[in-house]
Chain A
Amino acid sequence: MDNTKRILIVDDSDELTQVIAEFLGMCGYSVFTARDGIDALRFMEKETMDVVVSDIHMPRMDGYTLMTEIKSRHPRTPIILITGFSVSEAQKMAFEKGADAFVAKPFHLKDLKGVIESVMPH
């Protein structure tokens, strides 16, 4: 049985999702990407994820709404929110709304990996 942990990266920046996916792929994770919350939810109807990493500011559905939807449908899936806008307010709101972790942009990929590991179910 394949025990590879599965991570979904949700961000409307293809460049950023690609670079994160490439890095986490090298770290041994199976990485999937979605361009916004709606794509992410559609994807998660079919696939189970171990961790979701989502940007907050995205078109169509923002990260907070996505998190609320995921928490109602997949309550055991940890969610990490990331943003570079109004970081302290965003962090406060992220935790109030139930985020498992928060990462401020800019970040180092190694730090992001560390946060992912800290919330990853064993």
Chain B
Amino acid sequence: MNKNMLKKPKSVLCYTDLSKNSSYLVRYAYEISKMLEAELFVLHNVTDIKGAAGFYVPHINMDKLEEEVIQAARDKIYAICHQAVGDSIDKVHRIVIRGGLIEALEQVIRERKIGLVIMPHDGDKGILSWFRGDYAERFLRDASIPFLVLPMDAR
């Protein structure tokens, strides 16, 4: 896609880290989506600890613990969306993915044909702290869709 071409997005992706002001972020993303008449997806990624490390942890079933983390993330993302906009964001549009942030963003952007990403500003560390490493920086630099970074303390 031509980077300079202005195109109204049909789908918006809101990435949340599930931190305490996330309902403000989701509310903001919801309003933007309404203005654009676009479909809104809300995403959180859960670290794929076992997949990334692959170590055996004595006495612990890491698969079960990770399932608990994923379920907790699903519950939390529901609570955040509900607090933000009631039942306006259904289960299909609340996405929890196991894996790294970049991989999760890439997957949802590709599968849902996302045209705009909305993310929280990561406090003092700035947005680039979300995108550590060469691969992540390249992902941001080569992105063909806009990223909107919302300052969370502006609330």
Task: Tell me whether A74 is interfacial, beta carbon within 8 Å.
Answer: no
Which residue of A19, A25, A27, A84 is within 8 Å of B65 (Cβ)? A19
Select the residue from A23, A25, A85, A108 with max chain B CB neighbours within 10 A. Answer: A23
Question: Bound complex: CA of A105 vs CA of B20, how far in Å?
Answer: 30
Number of interface residues of A (CB under 8 A): 22
Q: Contacts of B64 on A, CB cut-off 8 Å?
A: 106, 108
Decide: A15 near B53, CB < 8 A? Known: A26-B76, A84-B59. Answer: yes
Apart from A16-B57, A16-B62, A109-B72: 12 A-B pairs, beta carbons within 8 A: A14-B53, A16-B60, A18-B49, A19-B49, A19-B69, A20-B65, A22-B47, A25-B18, A26-B69, A27-B72, A85-B59, A106-B60
Is the pair B53, A19 in contact by a Cβ cutoff of 8 Å?
Answer: no
For this complex, into which size category does the number of interface residues on chain B fall?
A: 20 to 34
Which of chain A's residues have a CB closer than 8 A to the CB of B137? Answer: none
Tell whether B136 is near chain A: CB-to-CB under 8 Å: no
User: Is residue B55 contacting chain A, with contact meaning CB distance below 8 A?
Assistant: yes
Contact B69 A23 (CB under 8 A): yes
B55 neighbours in A (Cβ, 8 Å):
13, 15
A-B interface, 8 closest residue pairs, ranked by CB to CB distance from nearest: A84-B59, A105-B59, A109-B68, A19-B65, A15-B53, A15-B49, A13-B57, A23-B69
Question: Hey, which chain B residues are within 8 Å of A22, CB to CB?
Answer: 46-47, 49, 69
Closest to B67 in A: A109
Contact A23 B53 (CB under 8 A): no
- Report whether B61 and A19 are in contact in the complex, using a CB–CB cutoff of 8 Å: no
Q: Shortest distance in angstroms between B81's beta carbon and chain A's nearest beta carbon? A: 14
Q: A15-B50, A26-B76 are in contact. Are A84 and B69 (CB under 8 A)?
A: no
Closest to B58 in A: A84
In the complex, A110 has a CB within 8 A of chain B: yes
A17 to B64, CA, bound (A): 15
**In the complex the two chains form, is A28's CB within 8 Å of B68's CB?**
no
Let me know if B59 and A106 touch, CB within 8 A.
yes
* Candidates B57, B61, B72; contact of A23 at CB < 8 Å: B72
With a CB–CB cut-off of 8 A, which chain B residues contact A28? 20
- Nearest CB on B from A10, distance (A): 15
Instruction: Check if B122 is an interface residue, CB within 8 A of chain A.
Output: no
CB of B39 closer than 8 Å to a CB of A: no
Q: Sample 8 A-B pairs with CB under 8 A, ordered by A number.
A: A18-B47, A19-B47, A19-B69, A22-B47, A27-B72, A84-B60, A85-B59, A105-B60
Q: Mark A8-52, 1 if CB is under 8 A from B, else 0.
A: 000001111011101101111000000000000000000000000
